[in-house]
């Protein structure tokens, strides 16, 4: 009786185990790796820095003089390929530096000078340095700031921030916009760069003959189409600022 009961128990255990065995086939195929983006920032080649900061309005003129000297010294530094020192047209206490370096090693050496500049301006700052290391997205010709700005040049720097899943679509749109803008008779520079550690953040570095040329450009079909297509993908407000070069 005990033996028969034991046999019945073993048979029931085998029957109950069969569905579980059927659900766990041997040699199950490995799960595919997640797809990776085809448009990742370049890790080599020229490196860029976009550095924003803001001083008290009363300190704007003195800060501009410091930046004039800093730009001249940086331009002579080993590995530097260009620097733009700019202050916002209607808020002169807002500054931005756009630096171009030959490679990562040159960037790291130049970064020490930028840190020293930030420390020297601490008593004047009302907003600290916001430093964004970048790589080329669609830089054409000479590096930004490699030549002295023309006397009447207007600079425009736009921070484009999109939802990460729209990064590649935005890169395509930015490249299309750059190609069209460079054909504009009033354009002098249009060089998009991309933040290395946050590739969904991009900066449009633009130079225009004057304010009238820029105003005419923003009403063109390519500029309007770009803004319309970008809007649903934006992660933050389109941040477009107008600057004068510090000479």
Q: What is the CATH number of the domain that holds 167?
A: 3.30.70.100
Q: What is the mean pLDDT of the chain?
A: 85
- Indicate the pTM of the whole model: 0.80
Q: Picking from 43-52, 145-154, 201-210, which range would have the lowest pLDDT averaged per residue?
A: 145-154
What confidence tier does 33 reach under pLDDT thresholds 50, 70, 90? very low
Residue 35 lies in a domain: no
Helix (H, G, I), strand (E, B) or coil at 230: helix
Residue 84 covered by a domain:
yes
Tokens of 211: 């304010």
| Residue 166 belongs to some domain of the structure | yes
Rounded Cα distance between 68 and 25, Å, is 71
Domain extent, residue 185, equals 47-245
Rounded Cα distance between 89 and 95, Å, is 10
Domain assignment present for residue 191? The answer is yes
pLDDT class of 43 with cuts at 50, 70, 90: low
| pLDDT digit string, tens, across residues 73-125 | 999 999 999 999 999 988 989 999 999 999 999 999 888 999 999 999 999 99
Task: Please tell me the total count of domains within the chain.
Answer: 1
Residues 6+ apart with CB under 8 A from 27: none
Angle between helices 167-181 and 221-230 (to 10 degrees): 170
Counting every residue, how long is the chain? 247
Residue 20 falls inside a structural domain: no
> Does residue 3 lie in a domain region?
no
Band of residue 38 on the pLDDT scale cut at 50, 70, 90: low
Domain membership flag for residue 30: no
pLDDT of 168 strictly over 70: yes
Residue 41, in any domain of the structure = no
Whole-number pLDDT of residue 151: 67
């Amino acid at each position: 009786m005990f033996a028969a009961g034991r046999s019945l128990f073993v048979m029931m255990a085998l029957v109950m185990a069969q569905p579980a065995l059927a659900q766990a086939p041997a040699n199950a195929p490995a799960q595919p790796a997640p797809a990776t983006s085809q448009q990742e920032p370049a890790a080599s080649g020229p490196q860029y820095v976009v550095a924003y900061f803001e001083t008290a309005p009363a300190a704007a003129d003195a800060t501009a003089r410091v930046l004039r000297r800093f730009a001249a010294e940086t331009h002579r530094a080993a590995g530097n390929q260009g620097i733009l020192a700019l202050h916002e047209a209607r808020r002169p206490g807002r500054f931005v530096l756009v630096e171009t370096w030959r490679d990562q090693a040159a960037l790291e050496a130049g970064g020490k000078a930028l840190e020293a500049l930030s420390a020297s301006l601490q008593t004047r700052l009302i907003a600290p340095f916001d430093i964004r290391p970048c790589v080329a997205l669609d830089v054409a010709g000479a590096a930004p700031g490699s030549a002295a700005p023309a006397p009447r040049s207007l600079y425009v720097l736009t921070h484009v921030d999109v939802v990460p899943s729209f990064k590649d679509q935005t890169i395509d749109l930015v490249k299309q916009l750059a190609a069209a803008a460079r054909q504009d008779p009033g354009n002098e520079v249009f060089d998009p760069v991309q933040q290395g550690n946050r590739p969904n953040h991009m900066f449009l570095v633009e130079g225009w003959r004057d304010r009238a040329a820029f105003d005419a450009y923003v009403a063109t079909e390519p500029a309007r189409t770009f803004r319309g297509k970008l809007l649903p993908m934006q992660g933050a407000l389109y941040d477009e600022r107008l600057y004068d070069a510090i000479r």
